Amino acid sequence: MRQYFKNIYEAIATILVGMGVTWRHLFTRAVTVQYPHVKRELPERSRMQLFVEMDDCIGCMACQRACPVDCIDIKTVRAGKEEDLGETSNGQKKRLHVVQFNIDMGKCCYCSDCVFPCPTGAIRMTPEYEFTTYDRSSLLFKFATYTPEQISELQERERKEKEAQAAARAAKLKAAEEAKKAAAKNDETKSE
C-alpha cells in the first residue's frame, strides 16, 4: 500500500521535474526557421549542386572516372592543329572540344569524389540546393555549350581525320620507332 502511494508520488514529482524543463524552454528563443521565408546561410563547403565552369574544363575525364555511380557523361572531340581553344584559368592549354558534359543529378550521391581529381578546378560543388523539379529528366544537367550542328560538324571532321590518320599510321609508327632508337642512342652518348 505504501509502495503504491510512493509510486504515485514519484511519478507526479518526476513529471513535474520534466514539466519544469519544458516550462523553461517556453522562454528560450525558437531554434526553428520558417524555411521558405527565412533561409539559412550555408557554409561555402556545402555539397549541394554540382557546377561545371566549361571555360576551365579540359576534357580530361578524371571526374568521370572518379564517380562511383557513373552519373557524369563526357564526350570530347580533338581540336585541330591550328585551332586555339584558349587556356583555362590556371594556365592549362585546352586541347579538346568538350561537346557533351552531362551530369545526372538524379543519380548523383553528392559524394564530391569528382571534385578532387579535377586538374583545373572546373567542376565544383555549390551551396545551391533548390533545384527540385517536377520531372526527373530535368535533373539531367547539360553543361556543354555546343549546338547540335557544331557537334555533328566536329564529329564529322574527327571521323575524316581519323581515316586520314589510319592511312598515315603505319608510316608514323615506323618514324616513331626510329626516333626512339635515335633518342636511345642520343641518351647513350649523353650518359657517356
Partner 1 sequence: MKKSNIPESQFELQVPESLKTEEMTISMGPQHPSTHGVLQVILKTDGEIINSAKPQIGYLHRCFEKHAENITWHQVIPFTDRLDYIASMNNNLGYVIGIERMMNLEVNERAEHLRVVVSELNRIASHLIALGTYGLDIGAFTPFLYVFRDREKILDLFEEISGARLLYNYIWVGGVAYDAPEGWREKVLEFCDYFEPKIKEYNDILTYNKIFIERTANVGVIPAEVGISYGVSGPSLRGSGVNFDLRKDDPYSIYDRFDFNVVVGKGEMGTVGDTWDRYWVRVDEMVESVKIIRQALENLPEGDAKETVPRNIKVPAGEYYMRTETPRGELGFYIISDGSKMPNRVKVRSPAFCNLSVLQAIAPGVMIADLVAIIGSLDIVLGEVDR
Per partner kind, with CB cut-offs from 5 to 8 A, the member of ligand SF4, partner 1, none near residue 42 is partner 1
- Rounded to whole angstroms, the Cα distance separating 108 from 63 reads 13
DSSP string, 80-145: PTT----B-TTSPBP-EEEEEEEEETTT-----TTTTT-SS--EEEES------S-GGGGEEE---
SS3 49: strand
**Least distance CB 97 / ligand SF4 (angstroms):** 12
Residue 91, Ramachandran bin (φ over 0: left; ψ between -120 and 50: alpha; else beta): left
In the complex with ligand SF4, the residue whose CB is nearer, 67 or 99, is 67
**Residue 80 interaction partner, one of partner 1, ligand SF4, none, beta carbon < 5-8 Å per kind:** none
User: What does 17 bind: ligand SF4, partner 1, none (CB cut-off 5 to 8 Å by kind)?
Assistant: partner 1
List the one residue out of 124, 116, 140 whose CA is nearest residue 46: 124
Q: Report the distance separating Cα 166 and Cα 133, nearest Å.
A: 47
Give the shortest CB-102-to-ligand SF4 separation in angstroms: 11
Residues near ligand SF4 (CB under 6 A) are 50, 52, 57-63, 66-67, 69, 71-72, 74, 103, 108-114, 117-120, 122-123
Name the minimum Å distance from CB 130 to partner 1. Answer: 16
User: In terms of CB distance, is 41 or 149 closer to partner 1?
Assistant: 41
CB of 23 to partner 1, least distance (A): 11
Nearer to partner 1, 69 or 182 (CB): 69
Residue 77 contacts which entry, partner 1, ligand SF4, none (Cβ below 5-8 A, type-dependent): none
Amino acid at position 118, single letter? C
Residue 74's H or E segment, with its range, is strand 72-78
